[in-house]
Structure 1
Amino acid sequence: MDQITDLNDLRIFAEVVEHGSFTAAARTLGTQTSKLSRRVRALEEELQVRLLNRTSRSLSLTETGRQFYQHCLAVVAESQAAKDIVDQTRTKPQGTVRISCPVALLSSGVSGIISRYIDENPQVQVLVDATNRRVDVVEEGLDFAVRVRLPPLENTDLTVRHLGLSIHILVASPELAARHPAPSSVESLKDWSTLAMASNSGRFAWNLVDTSEKAISWAHQPRLATDDLATLRLAAMQGVGVALLPREFIGDDVQAGRLLHLLPDLATPPGLVHAVFATRRGMVPAVRYLLDALVAGFEAFNEKWYSGR
């Protein structure tokens, strides 16, 4: 025998010993006396040892039964402790949350939302895989993955929660803007130096839409190309060139006047920021509240952006 077939039999045995009779234990457990007697008898047969001395009036432990009872108490206590941990994680945010998020999106404000969430929930640990690769939420043991996609979203077996929208806007430093006439169209930026995200093809183009959702694509040759948003932001503020950056990433810079929003009628098509996860069923508060914090964070940014314009 490798292990006891049904660990519930250990609890039943411990209850019988604690209450001193099958009848009293059955009353506590809400079951029949005969059922408990059969379960303990089956346990003895499985172990091939007698645990209880039975008479018509009393029960007593054998020496082996006494030692076995002590271990049963430990198992019951550990079982209760395990249940208590689960109950706690279901009532308040605590424990570890594992997520993945694209690097650019983290830089665009998600990292700040996560930091505030951790500060407000000191019993929660958040492990973030900052990656642009497509992750497998189930296989990699993630609670959820944050993604940005242009609509419509693809069909998937995963559950999706919408978090917000992400768009990119054209910005430049006041110093750079002062050296050129105010642009009236994207084509009028042909005499401006530009910045861009890195491209494997070596070709660079801004794909934009206007307020009527007309698509506009404009090719350019940037003075600086990199996949690091922080570098592009700094270069833009230093007047190196015009940059197309996530609105939520440089919103504070625009409102503070460190960057100017050029051609406000143009922007990239809005990307749907969303979280994907296996199921809502059994989701613990630490995960659910972090998702709520991300939704609230995007809503707060939009309110701040539009109120400041």
Structure 2
Amino acid sequence: MIVNDDMRFNFNDLHIFVQAVENGGFAVAARQLGIPKSTISKRVAELEADLGIRLIHRTSRSFVLTDVGRDFYDHARAAVIEAEAAEGVVQRRQAEPQGLVRITASVPVAQFHLADRLPVLARAYPKLDLQLHITDRFVDLVREGFDIAVRSHFAPLPDSDLVQRRMTVERITLVASPEYLANRGMPEHPDDIVGHDGLLTGPASKTWRLTHKDGREVQVTPASRLVADESMVLLKAAAAGLGIACLPEAMSAPLVGAGELAAVLPDWSAGSVTSTILTPHRRSELPAVRTVIDFLVGG
């Protein structure tokens, strides 16, 4: 609303007037705005009445601005442009995700899925305040006030009140160092694993269930060389030449690419691991939380 002492008129009338002038008449402006022609005519007439001056000479065949109408149009158009720009600033600010997002993840997930991606996210959305809490224990998101948990799992997660979004599914593959393979030989078939040293995740995981890309399955039991329930330890042990390890591809890929590890039986895998994003229902609809989830899922 524009107020100037003894006159008052609706800003929408300015917009309608500018549209009428720029479209060369009420009929075209009406189609452009999606409102009746009679409404255009009425609003312009009320604007003229509020101003106490004729802005347009109009007949059934002509539409011509008066001298003062031309001057008024120049200022009205500038006002409309400024108003649209001001509205755009507000809309962009509302659309830009901002605020605190608390994330919890295990050590391997943080190292191999989040460490490289969260800085990219933070640069893209500078008003996001990202906090990452790294722990391998089970975290109660609601009670402990977290917005997002990223969990890796081999079996489907149990049903819960949390919203689930799958982030990644990756094969678990066999890897060993080139030095180890040069000394002990490259296995050509899963049966050959029996004669090799295995880097195991636990005493109860001595047998590996391997699946070929054509669906065939076999079980093999390597010699136990090292047991550790932490994947980074197994990765380092494999790179050090201690034996063959079953590791998620995202974890071993950098060392395979650098030549520090080599794929063993590449047509076979030891299952897969899924990383899932979980968030409480109420928090999942917050713009900042949605932005983080969409980024991680899409990345």
- Is the 8 Å Cα contact of residues 226 and 232 (structure 1) preserved in structure 2? yes
Alignment of 1:83-122 (within 5 A): 91-122=95-126
Separation of aligned partners in 2, 1:205 and 1:131:
28
Separation of aligned partners in 1, 2:154 and 2:229:
20
SS at match of 1:216: strand
Residues 194 and 155 (structure 1), Cα distance of their counterparts in 2 relative to 1, 3 Å cut = same
Separation of aligned partners in 2, 1:155 and 1:203:
26
- Which of 278, 287, 299 matches 2:289? 287
5+ residue gaps, structure 1, are 1-86, 298-309
- Is the 8 Å Cα contact of residues 234 and 245 (structure 2) preserved in structure 1? yes
The amino acid across from 1:256 in the alignment is: A
The answer to whether the aligner puts 1:212 opposite 2:214 as a matched pair is yes
The amino acid across from 2:292 in the alignment is: L
- Is the 8 Å Cα contact of residues 208 and 268 (structure 1) preserved in structure 2? yes
SS at match of 1:175: helix
**Structure ranking higher in strand proportion:** 2
Separation of aligned partners in 2, 1:90 and 1:139:
29
Separation of aligned partners in 2, 1:217 and 1:286:
46
The residue number in structure 2 matching 1:162 is 166
- Is the 8 Å Cα contact of residues 108 and 246 (structure 1) preserved in structure 2? no
Separation of aligned partners in 1, 2:134 and 2:206:
25
Separation of aligned partners in 1, 2:234 and 2:178:
16
The answer to whether the aligner puts 1:133 opposite 2:137 as a matched pair is yes
The Cα shift of 1:262 comes to 0.6
The residue number in structure 2 matching 1:296 is 298
The Cα shift of 1:280 comes to 6.5
SS at match of 1:146: strand
Residues 202 and 156 (structure 1), Cα distance of their counterparts in 2 relative to 1, 3 Å cut = closer
Residues 89 and 268 (structure 1), Cα distance of their counterparts in 2 relative to 1, 3 Å cut = farther
SS at match of 1:222: strand
The residue number in structure 1 matching 2:259 is 257
Q: Which has the larger radius of gyration?
A: 2
The Cα shift of 1:281 comes to 6.9
C-alpha deviations, 1:168-224, integer Å up to 9, x for none?
A: 211111111112333122220233222222x2x465332332223344333334322
Of all paired residues, the percent bearing the same amino acid is 30
What is the TM-score with the length of structure 2 in the denominator? 0.61
Separation of aligned partners in 2, 1:113 and 1:127:
13
SS at match of 2:296: helix
- Is the 8 Å Cα contact of residues 152 and 275 (structure 2) preserved in structure 1? yes
Separation of aligned partners in 2, 1:213 and 1:156:
32
The Cα shift of 1:237 comes to 1.8
Residues 215 and 135 (structure 1), Cα distance of their counterparts in 2 relative to 1, 3 Å cut = farther
The answer to whether the aligner puts 1:223 opposite 2:225 as a matched pair is yes
The residue number in structure 2 matching 1:173 is 177
SS at match of 2:115: helix
The Cα shift of 1:268 comes to 2.6
The residue number in structure 1 matching 2:194 is 190
Separation of aligned partners in 1, 2:135 and 2:230:
13
The Cα shift of 1:242 comes to 1.2
The amino acid across from 1:258 in the alignment is: E
The answer to whether the aligner puts 1:232 opposite 2:234 as a matched pair is yes
Separation of aligned partners in 2, 1:105 and 1:277:
16
Residues 264 and 274 (structure 1), Cα distance of their counterparts in 2 relative to 1, 3 Å cut = same
Separation of aligned partners in 1, 2:296 and 2:257:
22
Aligned-residue CA RMSD (Å): 2.6
The amino acid across from 2:221 in the alignment is: A
Aligned length in residues: 209
The Cα shift of 1:287 comes to 1.7
The amino acid across from 1:172 in the alignment is: A
- Is the 8 Å Cα contact of residues 211 and 266 (structure 1) preserved in structure 2? yes
SS at match of 2:116: helix
- Is the 8 Å Cα contact of residues 153 and 273 (structure 2) preserved in structure 1? yes
C-alpha deviations, 1:119-144, integer Å up to 9, x for none?
A: 43333232223223332222221112
Residues 88 and 102 (structure 1), Cα distance of their counterparts in 2 relative to 1, 3 Å cut = farther
Residues 271 and 282 (structure 1), Cα distance of their counterparts in 2 relative to 1, 3 Å cut = closer
